[in-house]
Amino acid sequence: MKTTLNMIEVSLYIIPTVDSTVGRLVSRSRYSKENMGVSVPNFVKGFLKDNLNEFSSALKNPELENLINSDTTMTMRDIACLNYYLQKVGFTLKIQNVTDDEENASDIPEGAVEWNIIDYNFIQNDYPTALKITPSESEDTIDILERVIKQSGLFDESKFSGVKNPFTPVMASLKSIRDTMGSVNAGLLTQVYTILDRAGVKVFCATRA
């Protein structure tokens, strides 16, 4: 992970299901706590207010809309509660720390898939840290996951040299099937995502809405 974490990124996505790991970006903004002088929850509240027209017809909840439009001071718990209702109607908020030079500050390029590698082992300002990968056209899912695993820093060989790395046999099997059959085994992919998730790293893939 990069170490200069100056920005908090807030994104609103359209999602197909509540627990989805993919989404279509509706809006995005970045916030510098040092420069903007407001709390993170109140910045997020302002972000929701600016984007209210994107989800109000789906939300259909005047009480929540009034809360977003009010001068009420928000807390992280309040934002989490608002996100609960957004997720019920096909939207979600993602709040994460990024470096000031991280790519896709306000949008995702047309046709691109942005992989967000969200590390819950590295918390700043009460939110996880994210690193982004926008794959090249020549990379397939297995190539991308190799990059994800490497950049996650999990099972560092200098510290876990005597311990079996759980990624190794799964990735070897994925590559073997790809090279011999030309396909990607969905069950093995799920195993990789499960290992990442259990070790505190989540993957969220986004495209432009």
Name the residue range of residue 138's domain: 7-208
Residue 47 predicted with pLDDT over 90 = yes
Task: Tell whether 116 is covered by a domain.
Answer: yes
Q: Is 63:40 a contact under the CB 8 Å cutoff?
A: no
Task: Tell whether 127 is covered by a domain.
Answer: yes
Q: Is 8:100 a contact under the CB 8 Å cutoff?
A: no
CB atoms under 10 Å from CB of 134, counted, come to 14
Share of the chain above pLDDT 70, in %: 98
In the prediction, which pLDDT does 2 show? 46
Task: Tell whether 1 is covered by a domain.
Answer: no
Query: Secondary structure of the chain: what % helix, strand, coil (to 5)?
Result: 40, 25, 35
Task: Tell whether 128 is covered by a domain.
Answer: yes
In the prediction, which pLDDT does 180 show? 97
Task: List pLDDT tens digits, range 101-137.
Answer: 999 999 999 999 999 999 999 998 889 999 999 998 8
In the prediction, which pLDDT does 35 show? 78
Task: Tell whether 17 is covered by a domain.
Answer: yes
Task: Tell whether 2 is covered by a domain.
Answer: no
Residue 4 predicted with pLDDT over 70 = no
Residue 203 predicted with pLDDT over 70 = yes
What integer is the mean pLDDT of 44-64? 96
- How many structural domains does the chain have? 1
